[in-house]
Amino acid sequence: MRPITPKLILTCICTLPLLCFGQKDDPCPNGPNVSNAAMRECYWKAQTGMNKVADDLVARATANLRGTSPREKALYGPVILQALENAATKLEDSQLSWRSYRDQYCDAVAASYTTGSGAGTAMEECLYKTALARVRQLQLDFPESADQRGHRN
């Protein structure tokens, strides 16, 4: 039985990989001893998780933008409340547009492999890396949504 190491503990604790310090950008092993099928499965799992993180961040950010308390409503007034609602709607729309961009772009990456067996792996890797970039941008632009509690600070 392998001993539990600090690295293993950190890996288990970090449910959102990019919130952990020192998280590498590529979670999947590669090299001559790693099969294409293993890499594809790894990237599929990574991109599925990262896309969920992106969707969750957008959901929390829109909830934060719309979730004004009665006190805030009294302080902000109708103009600011409408601006916050518009921001929430635009963010939701941008997520839909981003998904379309992501899919089209990664389809092009996969198609560039023409007849090679690496197209599926390239597609999954592209989906992961595109989602990672989206998550990082959301965290910069809507830092309060990165807070797991999902409320305004």
**Angle between the N-to-C axes of helices 119-141 and 36-66, in degrees from 0 to 180, rounded to the nearest 10:** 20
Q: Is residue 117 part of a domain?
A: yes
Query: Is there a domain that residue 13 lies in?
Result: no
6 domain residue, yes or no: no
Give the chain's domain count: 1
Query: Tell me: the pLDDT tens digits for 42-83?
Result: 999 999 999 999 999 999 999 999 987 888 888 888 899 999
73-116 pLDDT, tens per residue?
Answer: 888 888 999 999 999 999 999 999 999 999 999 999 999 987 77
* pLDDT value of position 34: 87
Buried b / exposed e along 42-64 (16+ C-beta atoms within 10 A): bbbebbebbbebbebbbebbbeb
Confidence at residue 67, expressed as pLDDT on a 0 to 100 scale: 87
Half-sphere exposure of 100 (CA within 13 A, CB side): 6
Q: Is residue 24 a part of any domain in this protein?
A: no
Q: What pLDDT is attached to residue 17?
A: 42
Top pLDDT among 36 and 10 is at 36
Is the sign of the CA dihedral 55, 52, 5, 27 positive or negative? negative
CA atoms 41, 46, 49, 51: torsion sign: negative
Q: Would residue 27 count as lying in a domain?
A: no
Do the domain assignments include residue 115? yes
- The CATH number of residue 40's host domain is 1.20.1270
Asked whether residue 23 is assigned to any structural domain, the reply reads: no
pLDDT band of 4, cuts 50, 70, 90: very low
- Domain of 64, in residue numbers: 36-146
pLDDT of residue 148: 53
133 domain residue, yes or no = yes
Share of the chain above pLDDT 90, in %: 58
Given pLDDT bands bounded at 50, 70 and 90, which one contains residue 3?
very low
Q: What is the mean pLDDT of residues 125-152?
A: 83
Mean pLDDT estimate for the chain: 82
